[in-house]
Amino acid sequence: MSINWNGRTVLVTGAEGFIGSTLVDLLVDRGATVRAMVHYKPYAEKGFLARYFDDPHSPVEMIAGDVGDAGRVMDAVAGCDTVFHLAALIGIPYSYDAPGAYVRTNVVGTENVAEACRRHAVRRLLHTSTSEVYGTAQTAPISETHPLQPQSPYSASKIGADMMALSHWHAFELPVTVVRPFNTYGPRQSARAVIPTILAQLHAGAETIRLGSLTPTRDFTYVTDTASGFLALADCDRALGESVNLGTGREISVGDLAAALITASGREARVVADPARLRPSGSEVERLLSDNTRAREWAGWQPHVSLEDGLRRTSRWVAENIHLFSPGRYQV
């Protein structure tokens, strides 16, 4: 039987982000009281959670802060049943320029969250990983026992964060699960990711779509499927102290993805490789394909949105929100 979220207080770190805000919506729909930890911004921009913050009877409480601040995290976790830790510094290209920032936010921030969960005896911590920790697939599909390969400072910081979370299971019996989404996409995703990058260019009328390498393959999961995976794993005792993939088990090359997005958008364009968008040769992850056996068999999770349907939904959202993007600029 799945968890009854009514009356449960949960914390979502990184709550204003793409996956985080979708997870908040899902938790509210299920009746939870949500603390949304968001990065402090002095200009009061509320993003995708604005409707909750403007409602005096909202089931969502905003807590501005930074996971790098241990005291602030400790206060945010107090009294929570479940903590979903999604806050992270993301984006591979920027990690080449500022690797230390990734260590501070992703590794130290995760330690702060795990320690606060231990001190306050939360029922469950769900820590967010990424398929990037696997690097280029040595075997496919990729199971959770695949070697971890730090092919970028970003992936190295996430490997460190995963190990920090799991160390609290082994050392302190903290009830933690590492949730490892493959390439999540959908409405609200920023232009740093390949799908909104392509769609923003298409809906801005570009006749030439500029991308990095066209040959790598990825396993794309629609954002509501990823969010439902977090909830499924929050109720899965078998996943305690373990890492669990959330992916579809289907791969597509970046080049074929671009063609599918051109079809989904109803536009016409040609695709070219842009050298400025290429990763360093030793850092490019050539293949990611998920083995989602654990998620299916342990937690009863499976994706419901097909790639074709998900791309159409995402295309409509980008077209309606083109003002959020700068299609002519490479977003690191």
DSSP characters over 252-301: EEHHHHHHHHHHHHT---EEEE-GGGPPPTTT---B--B--HHHHHHH--
Rounded CA separation 13/331 (Å): 24
Amino acid identity of 48? F
Among candidate residues 52, 102, 134, 154, the one labeled active-site is: 154
pTM (two decimals): 0.94
- The total of other beta-carbon atoms located within 10 Å of residue 170's CB is 10
What is the structure's pLDDT at 46?
A: 64
* Cβ atoms 27, 34 nearer than 8 A: yes
First to last CA, the chain: 42
* Cβ atoms 308, 250 nearer than 8 A: no
What is the structure's pLDDT at 129?
A: 98
Beta strands in 21-175 (DSSP E): 33-39, 60-65, 82-85, 124-128
What is the structure's pLDDT at 116?
A: 98
Distances in Å between the Cα of 30 and the Cα atoms of 25, 109, 191, 222, 230 are 9, 28, 30, 19, 13
What is the structure's pLDDT at 276?
A: 73
Asked if 185 is an active-site residue, the reply is no
What is the structure's pLDDT at 308?
A: 97
Query: Helices 254-265 and 194-203 sit at what angle, rounded to 10 degrees?
Result: 40
What is the structure's pLDDT at 332?
A: 46
What is the structure's pLDDT at 42?
A: 64
The class (CATH top level) of 9-186+221-248+290-304 is alpha beta
Nearest in space to 66 (alpha carbons), one of 110, 22, 129: 110
pLDDT by residue for the chain (332 residues), tens only, comes to 578 999 999 999 999 999 999 999 999 999 999 999 998 776 556 689 988 987 888 999 999 999 999 999 999 999 999 999 999 999 888 999 999 999 999 999 999 999 999 999 999 999 999 999 999 999 999 999 999 999 999 999 999 999 999 999 999 999 999 999 999 999 999 888 899 989 999 999 999 988 888 889 999 999 999 999 999 999 999 999 999 999 999 999 999 999 999 999 999 999 887 777 666 767 678 899 999 999 999 999 999 999 999 999 999 999 999 988 876 554 54
What is the structure's pLDDT at 54?
A: 77
